[in-house]
Amino acid sequence: AGGHLSALLGVAGPDAGLEPESSDEKIDTSIQACVNFYGVTAFAGFSSKSAISRYRRNVMGSTPTEKPEEWKRMSPIDQVDAKDAPMLQIYASNDKLVSFKHAEIMKNKLDRHGVYNEYILLDGFGHQFNLQRWFKMKLPKFVRQRVFAFYDRCLKNMKPL
């Protein structure tokens, strides 16, 4: 759920209803940069054998047919607009839970809206990797370097709160 939630928060605006309740309206909750590790970006059009079926059962508590608006609201692909935070997506070619096609359709949508984004596809790796390794296989060093470079590009000139 981490990648999905990261992507969702990176693109969901105030109308999505995901903002925390606060009595201080001066608090800025906008996302400045988003890194999505193998997250579900679209709930429609993917096999019921994929991670989508787990969300249906465990997270959403309904099917897309029963509550289509709720599913659309929780689908990052349906929240993209030109004001979204820059996004880096990292997926694996051998992921059996969340297909790298999620990243490709998200990248296309971000590109169409002019949102800065980057995409890394790791060949030969599967789900649940981190910046160091996937099980006993070490991830290429360039992955960490790209993540840090992305954060530098997007966050370095920010003013502290």
Write out pLDDT tens, residues 30-51: 889 999 999 989 876 665 555 6
Express each pLDDT in 80-103 by its tens digit.
999 999 999 999 999 988 889 999
pTM: 0.85
Closest CA to 46 of 90, 103, 5: 103
* 52 has pLDDT over 90: no
The CA distances from residue 28 to 19, 25, 32, 84, 132, in Å, are 10, 8, 10, 15, 32
* 55 has pLDDT over 70: no
Single-letter amino acid, residue 78: D
Whole-number Å distance between alpha carbons of 23 and 87: 29
- 150 near 86, Cβ under 8 Å? yes
- Rounded to the nearest 10°, the torsion over CA 70, 73, 74, 76 is 150
For residue 15, name the pLDDT band (cuts at 50, 70, 90).
confident
Residue 73 pLDDT: 83
Contacts of 148 (CB under 8 A, 6+ apart): none
Q: Give the three-state DSSP class for 57.
A: helix
Residue 93 pLDDT: 93
